[in-house]
Amino acid sequence: MLAIAILVGAAVIALRYLPPDWDPREPLDLRAKPGPVTSLKLSLLARRPEACFAAFEASGLTLRRVPDRPSDTSCEVENAVLLPAGIRIMPLDPVVTCRMAAAWVLFERHALQPASRKHFGVDVTGLRHLGTYNCRNVYHAAAGRRSQHATANAIDLASFILSDGQEIAIPREWNGIEPKKAFLREVRDGACLWFNTVLGPDYNAAHADHLHLDMGPLHTCR
Distance from C-alpha of 127 to C-alpha of 108, rounded to nearest angstrom: 11
Distance CA 214, CA 121 (A): 28
Number of residues that bind Zn ion (CB under 5 A): 3
Map the footprint of Zn ion across residues 21-50, applying CB under 5 A. none
Closest of 47, 63, 53 to residue 27, by C-alpha: 53
Q: Is the peptide bond before 70 cis (omega within 30 degrees of 0)?
A: no
> Coil, strand or helix: which one is 175?
coil
| Between 88 and 136, CB nearer to Zn ion | 136
Looking at the Cβ atoms of 58 and 138, the one nearer to Zn ion is 138
**Rule CB under 5 A: which of 152-171 touch Zn ion?**
154, 156
Long-range contacts of 112-116 (CB under 8 A, 24+ apart): 112/160, 112/187, 112/190, 114/190, 115/183, 115/186, 115/187, 115/190, 116/160, 116/162, 116/183
Contact between 197 and 211 under an 8 Å Cβ cutoff? The reply is: no
Residue placing its CB nearer to Zn ion in the complex, 53 or 94: 94
In the complex, minimum distance from the CB of residue 159 to Zn ion, in angstroms, rounded to a whole number: 15
| Cβ-closest position to Zn ion | 212
CB of 201 to Zn ion, least distance (A): 13
State the Cα–Cα distance between residues 130 and 155, nearest whole angstrom. 7
CB of 73: closest distance to Zn ion in angstroms? Answer: 18
Q: Which is nearer to Zn ion, 119 or 128 (CB)?
A: 128
Q: Which residues pair with 96 in a beta bridge?
A: 81
Residue 94 binds to Zn ion (criterion: CB under 5 A): no
Cβ at position 219, least distance to Zn ion in Å:
16
Stretch that binds Zn ion, among 48-56, 87-95, 146-154, 165-173 (CB under 5 A): 146-154
Q: How far is the CB of 8 from Zn ion (least distance, A)?
A: 43
Q: Is 128 in the site for Zn ion (CB under 5 A)?
A: no
Report in angstroms how near the CB of residue 5 gets to Zn ion at its nearest.
48
Contact between 212 and Zn ion by CB under 5 A: the answer reads yes
Q: Which residues of the chain form contacts with Zn ion (CB under 5 A)? A: 154, 156, 212
